[in-house]
Amino acid sequence: MNDEITIANRARWEAEVLRKGGFTVPWLDLDRNDIMRYAEGRLDPIPYHLYQIYPAYLLRDVADKEVLCLAAGGGQQSAVFGLLDARVTVIDFTQGQLDGDITAAVHYGYEVDTLCLNIRDLSAIEDASFDFVYQGPSMSWVPSVHEIYKGVSRIIRPGGWYRVDFGNPATHSLEWDGEYYRVAEPYTERVYRYSDGAFDFRHCLSDIFNGLLDNGFRIEHVEERSWTQPDLEAAPGSWAHEMAYNVSFAIVAKREM
């Protein structure tokens, strides 16, 4: 799949890799004991990196499991699972992102499989290949959640877990105007084009939740959390400050037997 959306969004992430954007830099200072304490709810304060991996209980039983980090290249989530002795595969459509996962695996000494694929077409993956699919904040780069859910439903094993997160669609277009955060576009506006040509899609709550149910999943847990730790003392309009106003949520769903 190499349509206009893919070409534009891949180019954006290739540029992010070159400029070392926050989601592209491998986490090379993780501590396995900290990860295990975090999984058990015994780590306080929570380090910056681990804060982004939630709900924490999902990390408790991944050793020897087939874990797929979907659209999650960069050497971040895969490093957490690799340190917990999961058998990790990463799919991303940008080779520069996957290079980060290879860097992290070499650094920590675990094995990782990397596949340069578009998550909108998972036909190269065999049925029922994974016990757990972890997807971070990547859905806004694809036009339909249904095509992703359909692919994940096929490649995940019956009884397996799928974790995916979304920004709140009501605040998808939140912008700092110099004095306040404002919602810049009507809720009915489904796609935003960046100046570099990249596409950013808003997904409705009905699609997000009903799409999982329609594709054979049972919703087990929903947790709200900003993508990074918010800081009301940070400069207004900065990423850390905005996160106090623009909260996302993660859904944990189980593939029906």
Q: What is the CATH number of the domain that holds 22?
A: 3.40.50.150
Between the CA of residue 90 and those of 6, 39, 81, 136, what are the distances in Å?
18, 21, 11, 12
Domain interval for residue 93: 4-255
Can you give the pTM of this predicted structure? 0.95
pLDDT of 71-113, one tens digit each?
999 999 999 999 999 999 999 999 999 999 999 999 999 999 9
pLDDT of 183-205, one tens digit each?
988 999 999 999 999 999 999 99
Q: Both tokens of residue 68? A: 């797929």
CA geometry: angle at 157 spanning 151 and 160, to 5°? 100
pLDDT of 103-161, one tens digit each?
999 999 999 999 999 999 999 999 999 999 999 999 999 999 999 999 999 999 999 99
DSSP H or E segment with residue 90: strand 87-92
The verdict on whether omega for the bond into residue 55 sits within 30 degrees of 0, i.e. cis, is yes
Confirm if 53 and 61 have CB atoms less than 8 A apart: no
**What is the total count of domains within the chain?**
1
- Exposed/middle/buried for residue 19 (C-beta within 10 Å: 0-12, 13-18, 19+): exposed
